[in-house]
């Protein structure tokens, strides 16, 4: 999950309640968002590249401000 603001929290809850899905890693920038994300039990990082390159990631959910979508999507594709 890339982004853990208001919508990111909603996406995280949806992922956690979806059968056969695991919230493996969350990319969050601010210390406050990182602390909140850590409460989910997922690994937390501030790096998009780190999050999308994890061996346990099969899908990426981009919940960042619109102007950051392209960069995050390209990182995930790589």
pLDDT digits (tens, 9 = 90+) for 28-56: 999 999 999 999 999 999 999 999 998 88
From the list 78, 1, 11, 66, the residue with the least C-alpha distance to 34 is 1
Q: What is the pTM of this model?
A: 0.93
pLDDT band at 73 (very low <50, low <70, confident <90, very high): very high
With 0-12 CB in 10 A as exposed, 13-18 as middle and 19+ as buried, what is 10? Answer: exposed
State the Cα–Cα distance between residues 78 and 63, nearest whole angstrom: 18
């Amino acid at each position: 999950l890339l982004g853990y603001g208001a919508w990111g929290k909603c996406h995280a809850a949806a992922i956690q309640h979806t059968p056969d899905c695991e919230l493996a890693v969350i990319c969050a920038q601010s210390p406050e968002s990182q602390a909140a994300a850590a409460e989910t039990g997922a690994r937390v990082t501030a790096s998009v590249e780190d999050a999308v390159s994890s061996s346990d990631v099969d899908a990426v959910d981009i919940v960042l401000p619109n102007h950051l979508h392209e960069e995050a999507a390209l990182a995930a594709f790589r």
